[in-house]
C-alpha cells in the first residue's frame, strides 16, 4: 500500500517537474521567435517605406496560411501518435499542471 502511494507521488512529482521545465522552455522560445519575427517585419516595412523593396501582400497571406495549416496538421498528427491517456491520470495531471506553471513563470 505504501509502495503504491510512493510510486504515485513520484509519478506526479516527476511529471510536474518535467511539465514545468517544458512550459518554461516553450515560453522562452516563443518570446525569442516573436522578437526575431517582429524585427524582421519592422525591417521589411522600413525597406518598403524607403522604396527599396515591394511586398506582395497577397503572396504573403497565402504563404502564412499555408504555414499555419501545416503547423496545425502536424499538431493533430502528433496527438494521434502519442496518446497521453496511456500515461495515466496522475502523470498527465502533473504534467499539465507543471506545464501551466512553467508557462506562467517563464
Query: Which residues fall within 8 angstroms of residue 87, CB to CB, at 6 or more apart?
Result: 15, 95
Residues in the chain: 106
Query: Which residues fall within 8 angstroms of residue 85, CB to CB, at 6 or more apart?
Result: 92
pLDDT at residue 62 in the model: 93
Quote the CA–CA distance of 71 and 69 in Å, as a whole number. 5
71 within 8 A of 63, measured Cβ to Cβ: no
- Interval 14-62: pLDDT, tens: 788 888 888 899 999 999 999 999 999 999 999 999 999 998 889 989 9
- Give the residue with greater pLDDT, 101 vs 47: 47
Please report which helix (H) or strand (E) contains residue 82, including its range. Answer: none
Rounded percentage of the chain residues whose pLDDT exceeds 70: 74
Split at pLDDT 50, 70, 90, the class of 66 is very high
Amino acid at each position: 500500500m505504501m509502495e503504491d502511494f510512493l510510486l504515485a507521488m513520484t509519478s506526479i512529482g516527476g511529471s510536474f517537474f518535467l511539465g514545468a521545465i517544458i512550459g518554461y522552455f516553450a515560453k522562452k522560445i516563443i518570446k525569442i521567435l516573436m522578437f526575431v519575427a517582429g524585427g524582421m517585419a519592422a525591417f521589411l516595412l522600413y525597406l518598403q517605406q524607403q522604396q527599396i523593396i515591394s511586398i506582395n501582400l497577397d503572396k504573403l497571406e497565402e504563404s502564412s496560411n499555408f504555414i499555419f495549416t501545416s503547423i496545425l496538421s502536424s499538431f493533430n498528427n502528433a496527438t494521434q501518435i502519442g496518446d497521453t491517456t496511456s500515461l495515466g491520470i496522475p502523470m498527465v495531471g502533473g504534467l499539465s499542471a507543471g506545464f501551466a506553471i512553467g508557462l506562467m513563470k517563464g
